Amino acid sequence: MGSDDAFSTGSGSQSGVVRHADVLAAAARISGEIVHTPLLRSDSLDAATGTRVWLKPENLQRTGSFKFRGAFNRLSAIPMAQRSAGVVAFSSGNHAQGVALAAKLLGMPAVIVMPRDAPVIKVERTRGHGAEVVFYDRLTEDRDSIAAGIAAQRGAVVVPPFNDPYVVAGQGTAGLEAVADLAAMGLSADVALVCCGGGGLASGFAAGSGLPVIAVEPEGYDDVVRSLAGGVIVPVDNPGPTRCDALQTLKMSQLTFETLRAHGATAVTVSEAEVARAVAFAFRELKLVVEPGGSVALAAALAGRVDIAGKTVLVVLSGGNVEAAVFAECLALA
């Protein structure tokens, strides 16, 4: 467990880009705390996509999503002398739970700023790990400002969901694991499809795996698609409703933008109907519970949003924290 107070493990601090060396350092720091999630495959999935697919099921990670990786990496890098003041994070749920559990394990207080419409299950589990929850209105209030104000009052460290090199490097350990597991079987992948909100997982996965990454977003929340295509960060404009609560990011960060660009990533979107079908496919065919936001990469593969014919593909299932009503709705629609 490290206690370094500057991001000096690789070239990220120099260039604003998370590199492979940074992910290697994160892997060493969080070893023994995260679940090394296995690679899974399915004949029915291969048949449905017409290619060979390996799944990285981060819905089986601690707290039910990949977010624990980055949260534990960030918190464990805080110097011991600063830990008593705790941390403040903002999240609709998955990052919240990851930070809450990491803080609990490290003996640190945590405050999580969450939208009032966050899924009840995510709020309850965040509190269950001992964190204090402060609600805000995502349409009228600025979560960054609220978190910064609380942190200033308490002397706490702000832990953003994706605009932090330690967080991104921690998420990248999923990519590091995936390619190592394939290599152990004498295999390699041609491309990785990765769920994307603010780009923390997608950019980290690109740095950790060294693979071409295609970030997948829900329609209406396509800031990464448009930003990568245009070469400049473009925020979401007039977003509509989505079941992908974990991916309702309005604007990617400069860090994730530059890291994705540096690693040659591209991006696509999927529809709400395609997401519902992916949730249902994961349940019925793969026997996995995946939340809508965690299924968008699978949705892209199943819907043919990306040309993957004849390739070996890694598909990340990024989370499984879904409310029963939403899950049942997806099954009914599909």
Examine the domain organization and report whether 45 and 153 are in the same domain.
no
Examine the domain organization and report whether 187 and 254 are in the same domain.
yes
**Does 4 reside within a domain?**
no
Structure tokens at 34: 């995260």
Examine the domain organization and report whether 298 and 204 are in the same domain.
yes
**Average of per-residue pLDDT across 26-50:** 97
Examine the domain organization and report whether 327 and 203 are in the same domain.
yes
Task: State the CB neighbour count (10 A cutoff) for residue 287.
Answer: 9
Examine the domain organization and report whether 29 and 136 are in the same domain.
no
pLDDT over 70 for what percent of the chain? 96
Give yes or no for residue 163 having a pLDDT over 50. Answer: yes
Examine the domain organization and report whether 296 and 261 are in the same domain.
yes
Instruction: Tell me the backbone φ, ψ of residue 82, rounded to 5 degrees.
Output: -100, -5
Q: What is the DSSP string of 85-138?
A: G-EEEE-SSHHHHHHHHHHHHHT--EEEEEETTS-HHHHHHHHHTT-EEEEE-T
Q: Which residues contact 230 (CB under 8 A, 6 or more apart)?
A: none
Query: What is the residue range of 18's domain?
Result: 12-65+165-333
Read off the pTM: 0.93
Domain boundary pick from 98, 126, 159: 159
The pLDDT-based confidence of 196 (bands split at 50, 70, 90) is very high
Name the DSSP letter for residue 219.
T
Q: CB–CB of 316/201 below 8 Å? A: yes
Q: Is the dihedral of CA 25, 28, 33, 38 positive or negative?
A: positive
Examine the domain organization and report whether 251 and 302 are in the same domain.
yes
Examine the domain organization and report whether 192 and 268 are in the same domain.
yes
The pLDDT-based confidence of 93 (bands split at 50, 70, 90) is confident
Number of domains in the chain: 2
**Average of per-residue pLDDT across 201-224:** 98
Determine whether 139 is exposed, middle or buried from the number of CB atoms within 10 Å of its CB (0-12, 13-18, 19+).
exposed
Domain boundary pick from 125, 159, 193: 159
Domain boundary pick from 121, 141, 159: 159
* CATH number of the domain encompassing residue 237: 3.40.50.1100
Give yes or no for residue 229 having a pLDDT over 80. Answer: yes
